[in-house]
Structure 1
Amino acid sequence: MPLYEFHCLDCDTQFEELVFSQTELPSCPHCSSPKTEKLISRPCRNKNSSSGADIPSMPAQSSSGGCAGCSGGSCATCGH
């Protein structure tokens, strides 16, 4: 079950949502508007990898203050 990032076109809020289909667009949890769009995530790359493989580096920060994996709890990965 993928977790996607969305943007509300009415109140400009960014949020994450667990969705079950690739075409599903959830309503905004802040203003309840159905006018949302799925955001395209940028891949992370560690350019200093000794093996030559692309390894994810620090996760992207979400709008809730933590990384995409912890959402702002006590996280050893991002330090939030």
Structure 2
Amino acid sequence: MPMFEYRCTRCGHEFEELVFGDKTPVCPACHAEATEKLISKPCRHCEGSGMGDFAPSAAPASGGGCAGCSGGNCASCH
């Protein structure tokens, strides 16, 4: 499903929204329509984070990530 990250240019609130077509999401904090799409950060593999296999903001496992990754693609770890 097309899940995107947005930032409200009015209040600065960052949020995720499921968006179809050319729909412009409304900020859930201040209800402004002035939002901008953010470039999503890549997910890093984090063993033992308590957040499942992937945690976008946690530190990578020792050694810089999953030892089973090929070509930097952590999707190959599973």
Distance 1:38 1:48 in 2: 28
CA-based RMSD: 1.9
* Change beyond 3 A, Cα 1:52–1:30: closer
Q: Which runs of 5+ in 2 are unaligned?
A: 46-63
TM-score by length of 2: 0.57
> In percent, how many aligned pairs have the same letter?
44
Mapped pair 1:55 → 2:74: yes
* Higher helix fraction (1 or 2): 2
Distance 2:16 2:23 in 1: 13
Return structure 1 stretches of 4+ with deviation > 6 angstroms: none
TM-score by length of 1: 0.56
